[in-house]
Amino acid sequence: MAIPLYFQIYRDLQMKICGGTYEPGALLPTESELEKIYGTSRAPVRQALGVLENEGLVVRRQGKGTFVTDQARTSPWLIATGFLKCYERNWGRLTARTVELNMKVPEDPEIGAFLELPEGGAATRLVRLQCISEKPTVLLENFFHPHYDLNVFQAAGDFMSLKELLMSKFAVTARRSHERLAVRVPPPQFAAWLELPAGTPIMRVRRFIWDSADKPLLVSNQYVFTDEWEYEADFTMIM
């Protein structure tokens, strides 16, 4: 499948922003200049800039241009979450590894229903452990529709960013999510990976994520040590 032109432009600009070619506060080339740089028409350029803006990497100011935001260092790699500030604070000390990868029928039927799996259908399941300075902090159990090929995740090994992998290998981006927070006892194997005494309850964040076409992308169960990893959210009060 050919990668859409707008996505190629988006990925190139994203990597330049992440790599420091365009630093926070920098003014990007105008749409006309980007047309010449990429040898294309205005439509894919605008679409690419729209994706960057939706992800918080740039802000477009009428009459002034498109500017790189202050969050550009970490935002390209993250799906928006209440843990964003933790990622920003600990980015230099954060590591990740894949601990389990398989096809599995979700035990909770709401996961299968969200992913629109047939009854008894298996999902692509990816379990990853994130550590701060080698200390286990977050365990992420992700369920995808089976058309997300298990072999792609296998070939990626211990990758750092799921968002980056989804963009580069499947040309898919997240558009919105719904989160539920609860205190749960993780499964025994999860507790072992987290170096947690069996039966100890910790925070679990269940996230339902839709892609840019507003189709179900994944369900994520995140088991979190809140002494290291605090959930933060900002709200605007409407009076």
Name the token pair of 171: 């040309």
Tell whether pTM > 0.75. no
Is the distance from CB of 28 to CB of 67 less than 8 angstroms?
Answer: yes
- Which region, left, alpha or beta, applies to residue 16 given φ > 0 means left and ψ of -120 to 50 means alpha? alpha
**Domains of the chain, each with CATH number or no CATH:** 5-68 (1.10.10.10), 78-224 (3.40.1410.10)
Q: Can you spell out the DSSP letters for 123-158?
A: EEEEEEEEEETTEEEEEEEEEE-TTS-HHHHHHH-S
Please give the chain's pLDDT, 239 residues, in tens: 356 788 789 878 987 887 778 988 999 999 999 999 999 999 999 999 988 887 778 999 988 999 998 766 555 444 446 676 677 677 778 889 999 999 999 999 999 999 999 999 999 999 999 998 899 999 999 999 999 999 999 999 998 788 878 877 888 888 788 899 999 999 999 999 999 999 999 999 999 999 878 899 999 999 998 776 777 766 544 44
Name the token pair of 207: 């996230």
Task: Identify residue 170 by its one-letter amino acid code.
Answer: F
Among the listed residues 154, 137, 6, 14, the one whose alpha carbon sits nearest the alpha carbon of residue 77: 14
Name the token pair of 85: 């500030």
Is the distance from CB of 31 to CB of 9 less than 8 angstroms?
Answer: no
Residue 87 makes CB contacts below 8 A (sequence gap 6+) with 74, 78, 81, 94
**If residue 223 lies in a helix (H) or strand (E), which one and from where to where?**
strand 216-224
Among the listed residues 140, 148, 150, 153, the one whose alpha carbon sits nearest the alpha carbon of residue 78: 140
Q: State the pLDDT at residue 77.
A: 47
- Cα–Cα distance measured from residue 209 to residue 56, given in angstroms and rounded to the nearest whole number: 17
Handedness of CA 60, 62, 63, 69 (dihedral sign): negative
Q: Where are the alpha helices (DSSP H) in the chain?
A: 5-19, 31-38, 42-54, 84-90, 109-114, 150-156, 162-170, 188-193
Q: State the pLDDT at residue 119.
A: 92
Burial 209-235 (b: 16+ CB within 10 A, else e): bbbeeeebbbbbbbbbbeeebebeeee
Q: Could you give the C-alpha distances from 192 to 5, 12, 200, in angstroms and in order?
A: 45, 40, 11
